[in-house]
Amino acid sequence: MKRALFFLVAFTLSQLLSVNQFVFAEPAVAANFTLKDMSGNKHQLSSYKGKWVLVNYWATWCPPCLEEVPDLVNLYDHRKQKDLMVIGVVFDYKDVKEVNEYVDDMLMSYPIVLGDDSVTAQIGSAEVMPTTFIYNPQGVLVKIKRGLITREYIERMIAGKK
């Protein structure tokens, strides 16, 4: 009986430990992307080491996007020299004039990128607007927040309370 139990345990362990049974996750590594904003400036994630980076996907027709802009502007204006970078990426817009008017009306002080397939290939797609990709100061994607994001939510992330 003991011998049969031993072989059963040994067989089970060998099955559990076989390489084909487990998919080991890669350790989190810093990502990198390069985005060109509407002013022609390039933004590379690796250039913002030491800062939290928010890449916020939005659209001009999106009410929650409109609602979150004041919080993003306020955070960016107060923390850009210290520990935060915000990059807005607009999708599903009519033309560049429409985007410029929206950016001016909303006093958006952070860089704005015109979204396209090259952006989603580097960062990811979004099924809902707004969607915010949050990278920690080491450049590792730590959260994808779908829907409205608030100043309080971001500050809690930065403080390590989320």
- Check: CB of residue 33 under 8 Å from CB of residue 44: yes
**Amino acid identity for residue 73 in this structure:** V
pTM of structure: 0.81
Give the model's confidence band at 12: pLDDT under 50 very low, under 70 low, under 90 confident, else very high: very low
Residue 4 pLDDT > 80:
no
Range 7-15 average pLDDT? 37
Residue 87 is predicted with a pLDDT of 98
**DSSP assignments along 90-157, one per residue:** E-S-S-HHHHHHHHHHTT--S-EEE--HHHHHHT---SSSSEEEEE-TTS-EEEEEES---HHHHHHH
| Amino acid 20: pLDDT | 36
Percent of the chain with pLDDT strictly greater than 70: 81
Report the pLDDT value the prediction gives residue 162, as an integer from 0 to 100.
Answer: 64
Gap between the Cα atoms of 155 and 134, Å rounded: 12
| pLDDT, tens digit, 9 for 90 and up, residues 93-125 | 999 999 999 999 999 999 999 999 999 999 999
Which run of H or E residues covers position 68?
A: helix 63-79
Confidence (pLDDT) at 161: 79
Q: Are 13 and 21 in contact (CB under 8 A)?
A: no
CA 36/CA 89 separation, integer angstroms: 10
| Domain 26-158 of CATH type 3.40.35.10 | no
